């Protein structure tokens, strides 16, 4: 195993930006009001299971369709770019349906809000540029943050206020756009 601190930090920041758990606080609060409660442990475990599974099976799925990792990484980078663009401009490109069923902790919270298409595309894109063990640690660190945010979403909402959450969203949007451009450059040549 070759743990590289710089890779772990990069992967963690990329996933943190894509998952955007802080930006999802308004959605989490709305889901909690509709469903009555959010099961933080269940949502975190299901999202983590999806991410790890996709990390290892994503390449096989690509091979099934005859797509190479570099092409998928570029496609993923374009999605990252759009997510960053969405975060900065406050426009919704990717839509999330909400539900008030008892399975709210799984759908739509664990999937697609936490481990949605953007997260899964990012994980495969990251696999083209980073070592698997560093990606796993980055996923685990993000799952820890997700769990903490889910457990404390009301408190975080009060601390950040609407302006603080908006600033965080825009800063991480810019970082995500820069990272997407780097991924395109790395995989294009």
> Band of the pLDDT at 95, cuts 50, 70, 90?
low
For the record, the structure tokens of 180 come out as 């997407």
Task: Specify the pTM.
Answer: 0.75
Q: What's the mean per-residue pLDDT of the chain?
A: 85
Q: Are 148 and 40 in contact (CB under 8 A)?
A: no
Mean pLDDT on 137-145: 98
Burial 95-107 (b: 16+ CB within 10 A, else e): eeeeeeeeebbbb
What is the spatial distance between Cα 173 and Cα 52, in angstroms, rounded to a whole number? 24
Residue 13: what pLDDT?
96
Of 151, 140, 155, the C-alpha closest to 45 is 140
What is the spatial distance between Cα 114 and Cα 132, in angstroms, rounded to a whole number? 20
For the record, the structure tokens of 154 come out as 């009301």
- Between the alpha carbon of residue 33 and those of residues 30, 98, 103, 126, 146, the distances in Å are 5, 12, 14, 35, 19
Lowest mean pLDDT among 43-52, 55-64, 158-167: 158-167
pLDDT for residue 91 is more than 80: no
3-state DSSP helix/strand/coil % of the chain, to nearest 5 = 80, 0, 20
Q: Are 51 and 119 in contact (CB under 8 A)?
A: yes
């Amino acid at each position: 195993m070759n743990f590289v601190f710089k890779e772990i930090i990069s992967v963690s920041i990329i996933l943190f930006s894509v998952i955007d758990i802080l930006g999802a606080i308004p959605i989490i609060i709305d889901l909690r009001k509709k469903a009555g409660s959010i099961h933080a442990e269940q949502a975190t475990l299901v999202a983590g299971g999806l991410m790890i599974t996709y990390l290892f099976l994503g390449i096989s799925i690509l091979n099934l369709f005859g797509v190479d990792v570099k092409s998928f990484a570029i496609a993923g980078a374009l999605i990252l770019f759009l997510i960053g663009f969405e975060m900065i401009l406050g426009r919704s490109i990717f839509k999330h349906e909400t539900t008030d069923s008892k399975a709210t902790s799984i759908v739509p919270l664990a999937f697609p809000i936490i481990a949605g298409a953007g997260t899964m595309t990012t994980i495969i894109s990251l696999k083209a540029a980073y070592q698997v063990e560093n990606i796993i640690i980055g996923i685990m660190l993000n799952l820890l943050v997700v769990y903490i945010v889910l457990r404390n979403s009301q408190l975080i909402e009060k601390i950040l206020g609407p302006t603080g959450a908006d600033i965080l969203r825009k800063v991480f949007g810019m970082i995500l756009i820069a990272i997407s451009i780097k991924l395109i450059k790395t995989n294009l040549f």
